[in-house]
Chain A
């Protein structure tokens, strides 16, 4: 029996009393047989409020929220006009001019790698491939042989005169 003092039911009651406070009376009752009076307590149900502590995770009150005054804020400035123009300037010059024109420029850079000496430095490979395909297409269309067996044009070779 003594062990039941902190039995389950009692524990639950203790827990409830701790969280919700002791059960309170809601109406005033005066006993007819004794002088006991049960009345709603003036401080019943009230617990001391938790002190307001600022936690680190709460939003910093000194932070200005750019969306408050200007719900369409782009994040650049408080003034909506400056903010809008800053956004436009960044997008226009950043994307439309530099990224677009810059990528076009870079994409059309010539095939370098020593254009002067292609065989040593593997230069002009893409050009060579394109030129070969173009010539093959032309020669096949015109019925010419794809390659001639002579490396050099025989009519341009000047041989020394035969000397007996």
Chain B
């Protein structure tokens, strides 16, 4: 694990000591090389975990998420290069340092083996994200957005701290690899119900669950592009990852306690998909679509069957890449017309046909077109939820239809039709933007050739 952590830490002196015209080149290069190293963790030789040290381990669930995190840093740097070009040098370096710090905390979170260590880093990821949103966001609402983001997550995770300390006291250790073998079934009592709630609420807020999702559209919309990318692609998956880890400790109470959250998720995915159909703001549409996809992951994790866990893991990776790509596409629009309103820049297919190709592919992966991994994830979740209860197929089916509806709505509004008359003089697509889209899309398509690495530990 040090072979990833030390290079990531050293990226910070690299940004501060590089020559001013080389900061982006250096950081992007070394970021890409770090992502190459992290791919080595995908070699999971058996059902057990790869234990790097006393503090870090990686298994088939955390290795793909680790690869996603390290892959995203160079992409975030490429996406931010344009909107930071007019900032003073120190501010650019600060921004890059925030991104690198966030990446560092995320790497350590996904590979932490001790649960308190995981918790500390889980909270630590909030700070760079808050700084990125509130300092470099574009509208005045960013302060409100940062507040919502910080306090929703903190409110959810404070009970988690108390619960983890209690479990440590009770079991003697919180090393995840050991307590798997010590767990006893949790009997159904009031204090255990509160323990279950305390453990899960942090991750429910992070995912986010439908009733606690208010921070997400604000934070995603107000954040600059790198902030949106990392929020959508990785920070949401922290919630899913945490839930999948902590539910091993909470059986069999989950069978009983999961019902309200299942209802909220099943209903919420339809509601947020429907809200997407009514959005005028492009980034807000993508943010609500993230809520909808993550609701599927919540359903999958709460059902706790082998297929649902495979679907949840696949869906997390797939959604990370897709959502990040959609935010990059929205940003390419924003950089040209300085507005997030969808109808202001329509008919782009005639003006920027290559970008329209990326829009098409991103929308197709968002609506879970076969044979992409988005489909694999969604299908596994739908099938396992059907076996959990037959009626969920209706709700899942409606959600899939509405997902297709809003993805196509977004595609058609921005790309098809006659272009609005004032965007005739937008600048053509840069190589940077096309490279960014390809770097999002190619891993997604390559994974559809070999999905077994993202199907998680149950495969």
Residues of A contacting B29 in the complex (Cβ-Cβ under 8 angstroms):
89, 93
Q: How far, in angstroms, from A41 to B82 measured CA to CA in the complex?
A: 54
**Does A76 sit within 8 A of B, measured CB to CB?**
yes
**Does B337 sit within 8 A of A, measured CB to CB?**
yes
Q: How far, in angstroms, from A93 to B338 measured CA to CA in the complex?
A: 31
Q: Cβ of A110 and Cβ of B435 under 8 Å apart?
A: no
Residues of B contacting A116 in the complex (Cβ-Cβ under 8 angstroms):
46
**Does B3 sit within 8 A of A, measured CB to CB?**
no
Q: How far, in angstroms, from A107 to B450 measured CA to CA in the complex?
A: 7
Q: Cβ of B338 and Cβ of A60 under 8 Å apart?
A: yes
Tell me which of A58, A90, A97, A99 contacts B78 (CB under 8 A).
A90
The distance from the CB of A68 to the nearest CB of chain B, in whole angstroms, is 10
The distance from the CB of B76 to the nearest CB of chain A, in whole angstroms, is 13
Contact surface of B with A, Cβ cutoff 8 Å: 21-22, 24-25, 28-29, 32-33, 35-36, 39-40, 42-47, 71, 74, 78, 81-82, 85-86, 337-339, 344, 420, 422-423, 425-428, 430-433, 435, 438-439, 442-443, 446, 450, 453, 459
Closest to A82 in B: B21
Q: How far, in angstroms, from A87 to B433 measured CA to CA in the complex?
A: 11
Q: Cβ of B25 and Cβ of A85 under 8 Å apart?
A: yes
Residues of B contacting A85 in the complex (Cβ-Cβ under 8 angstroms):
25
Residues of B contacting A97 in the complex (Cβ-Cβ under 8 angstroms):
32-33, 36
The distance from the CB of A112 to the nearest CB of chain B, in whole angstroms, is 5
Q: Cβ of B435 and Cβ of A113 under 8 Å apart?
A: no
**Does A136 sit within 8 A of B, measured CB to CB?**
no
Q: Cβ of B81 and Cβ of A77 under 8 Å apart?
A: yes
Q: How far, in angstroms, from A110 to B43 measured CA to CA in the complex?
A: 8
Q: How far, in angstroms, from A104 to B294 measured CA to CA in the complex?
A: 31
Considering only residues 62-103 of chain A, those with a C-beta below 8 Å from chain B are 63-67, 73-79, 82, 85-87, 89-91, 93-95, 97-99, 101-103
Closest to B70 in A: A98
Q: How far, in angstroms, from A94 to B427 measured CA to CA in the complex?
A: 25
Q: Cβ of B43 and Cβ of A79 under 8 Å apart?
A: no
Q: Cβ of B432 and Cβ of A98 under 8 Å apart?
A: no
Residues A57 and B422 in contact in the complex (CB < 8 Å), given A67-B427, A90-B435: yes
Q: Cβ of A86 and Cβ of B423 under 8 Å apart?
A: no
Closest to A86 in B: B25
Residues of A contacting B81 in the complex (Cβ-Cβ under 8 angstroms):
75-77, 86
Residues A90 and B337 in contact in the complex (CB < 8 Å), given A79-B21, A113-B46, A113-B47: no
Q: Cβ of A98 and Cβ of B45 under 8 Å apart?
A: no
**Does A128 sit within 8 A of B, measured CB to CB?**
no
Residues A105 and B40 in contact in the complex (CB < 8 Å), given A56-B339, A97-B33: yes
Q: How far, in angstroms, from A161 to B206 measured CA to CA in the complex?
A: 71
Residues A112 and B450 in contact in the complex (CB < 8 Å), given A90-B78, A90-B435: no
Q: Cβ of A74 and Cβ of B432 under 8 Å apart?
A: yes
Q: Cβ of A89 and Cβ of B420 under 8 Å apart?
A: no
The distance from the CB of A80 to the nearest CB of chain B, in whole angstroms, is 11
**Does A121 sit within 8 A of B, measured CB to CB?**
yes
Q: Cβ of B85 and Cβ of A110 under 8 Å apart?
A: no
Q: How far, in angstroms, from A37 to B25 measured CA to CA in the complex?
A: 77
Tell me which of A64, A78, A91, A98 contacts B435 (CB under 8 A).
A91
Residues of B contacting A98 in the complex (Cβ-Cβ under 8 angstroms):
32-33, 35-36, 39, 71
Tell me which of A75, A93, A99, A109 contacts B28 (CB under 8 A).
A93
New A-B contacts (18) at CB < 8 Å, excluding given A89-B28, A112-B44, A112-B46: A55-B422, A57-B420, A75-B432, A75-B433, A86-B24, A87-B435, A90-B432, A97-B36, A98-B32, A101-B36, A102-B39, A105-B40, A106-B446, A106-B453, A113-B46, A113-B47, A113-B459, A115-B45
In order of increasing CB-CB distance, the 5 nearest A-B pairs are A75-B430, A57-B422, A75-B432, A74-B431, A93-B32
Residues A106 and B42 in contact in the complex (CB < 8 Å), given A57-B422, A97-B33: yes
Q: How far, in angstroms, from A60 to B42 measured CA to CA in the complex?
A: 46
Q: How large is the interface on A (under 10, 10 to 19, 20 to 34, 35 or more residues)?
A: 35 or more
Closest to B32 in A: A93
**Does A59 sit within 8 A of B, measured CB to CB?**
yes
The distance from the CB of A123 to the nearest CB of chain B, in whole angstroms, is 8
The distance from the CB of B144 to the nearest CB of chain A, in whole angstroms, is 23
**Does A38 sit within 8 A of B, measured CB to CB?**
no
The distance from the CB of A92 to the nearest CB of chain B, in whole angstroms, is 9
Residues of A contacting B36 in the complex (Cβ-Cβ under 8 angstroms):
97-98, 101-102
Q: Cβ of B425 and Cβ of A59 under 8 Å apart?
A: yes
**Does A114 sit within 8 A of B, measured CB to CB?**
yes
Closest to B48 in A: A114
Q: Cβ of B428 and Cβ of A99 under 8 Å apart?
A: no
Q: How far, in angstroms, from A26 to B306 measured CA to CA in the complex?
A: 90
Residues of A contacting B438 in the complex (Cβ-Cβ under 8 angstroms):
95
Q: How far, in angstroms, from A94 to B338 measured CA to CA in the complex?
A: 29
Residues A106 and B39 in contact in the complex (CB < 8 Å), given A57-B337, A57-B422, A90-B78: yes
Residues of A contacting B431 in the complex (Cβ-Cβ under 8 angstroms):
74-75, 87
Tell me which of B338, B428, B433 contacts A67 (CB under 8 A).
B428
- 19 of the cross-chain contacts (CB-CB < 8 Å) are A57-B337, A57-B344, A59-B426, A60-B338, A63-B338, A79-B21, A82-B21, A85-B25, A86-B24, A90-B32, A90-B78, A90-B432, A97-B32, A99-B443, A105-B39, A106-B39, A107-B450, A109-B43, A113-B47
Q: How far, in angstroms, from A136 to B110 measured CA to CA in the complex?
A: 45
Residues of A contacting B47 in the complex (Cβ-Cβ under 8 angstroms):
113-114, 121
Instruction: Among B22, B337, B427, B431, find the residue whose CB has the most chain A CB atoms closer than 10 A.
Output: B431
